[in-house]
Amino acid sequence: MPELPDVTVYIDTLRPRILGREIIAARVLNPFVLRTVTPPLSGAAGRRVRSISRLGKRIVIGAEDGLYIVIHLMIAGRLRWREGGKTIGGKLAQAAFDFERGTLYLTEAGSKRRASIHVVQGADGLAQFDRGGLEVLDADVGDFAARLRSENHTLKRSLTDPRLFSGIGNSYSDEILHRAKMSPLTLTSKLTDEQIVELFDATKATLTDWTDRLRAEVGDGFPEKVTAFREGMAVHGRYKLPCPVCGTPVQRIRYADNETNYCARCQTNGRLLADRAMSRLLKQDWPRSIDEVE
């Protein structure tokens, strides 16, 4: 799922292309992607784009007269920009927004249709999508600490909870925790003041560094390779590959459709974290430390 760095770069590249431009047509190519009826998406036609912003992991396109188009890409949704009359055929394209210079497409791969578009009127309509998460890049360590300590959860869960922190998901939470050298299963109630400062610094540095990297990668173009698994990541999506810091094979915990990746030497003092499925299956044969699997 595109997270804060990815969504920020989408917005960066959209601004010079559509900000201040008239939406010539707004088309639904797959009815399932549109989750609202009133106002109609077609009502965006003829209005100029007045703002483009991020709300958590959502992209918000604000048009004239207080009309907002709220796009949530979810896991497989992506934005594509095509100029010169080029189109995206087949079942990949879910919606299209035509401008004089080109067309902005919302695409989604796979058979599961999770990406969504909501069309709402006014600030009150937009407010329903604000989960209340803290914008870490705009916050200080006191705000960050207050959010962490407001509920007692594992660090992984807290960082990815949109009610606590805005725009952080599965990918970058793994990278943040590796940078901070902290276990994803550490409870927030157990953190010292010093550890919270370290986590705060790691969070800001990780989000800033990756946003800068993606901006440099895209340049004047448009993001075409948005993925949760990027070259240069320390642990996310790198199961069994060497940790870039210590060389130890990266480990993982699987749950539902997600997984947590971590380095046992850098983050858990060599201890392997129990995988809900495999540890129960292997029972006493489940290795307890990284030394038993190396």
Claim to verify: residue 155 and residue 72 sit in the same structural domain: no
pLDDT of 276: 56
- The per-residue pLDDT for range 204-229, each reduced to its tens digit, is 999 999 999 999 999 999 999 898 88
pLDDT of 283: 41
Residue 161 CB neighbour total at 10 angstroms: 15
- The per-residue pLDDT for range 151-197, each reduced to its tens digit, is 999 999 999 999 999 999 999 999 999 999 999 999 999 999 999 99
- The per-residue pLDDT for range 22-64, each reduced to its tens digit, is 999 999 999 999 999 999 999 999 999 999 999 999 999 999 9
Percentage of residues in the chain with pLDDT exceeding 70?
93
Last residue of a domain, one of 79, 110, 127: 127
Claim to verify: residue 97 and residue 166 sit in the same structural domain: no
CATH number at residue 213: 1.10.8.50
- Whether residue 294 is predicted with pLDDT greater than 90 in this model: the reply is no
Which has the closest alpha carbon to 106: 77, 83, 85?
77
Taking a C-beta distance cutoff of 8 angstroms, is the pair 150, 164 a contact?
Answer: yes
- Average pLDDT score, the chain: 92
Taking a C-beta distance cutoff of 8 angstroms, is the pair 49, 130 a contact?
Answer: no
Domain that holds residue 78: 4-127
Stretch 230-254: mean pLDDT, rounded? 94
Claim to verify: residue 118 and residue 161 sit in the same structural domain: no
Number of domains in the chain: 2
- The per-residue pLDDT for range 115-150, each reduced to its tens digit, is 999 999 999 999 999 999 999 999 999 999 999 999
Last residue of a domain, one of 83, 100, 127: 127
Last residue of a domain, one of 127, 151, 173: 127
pLDDT of 120: 98
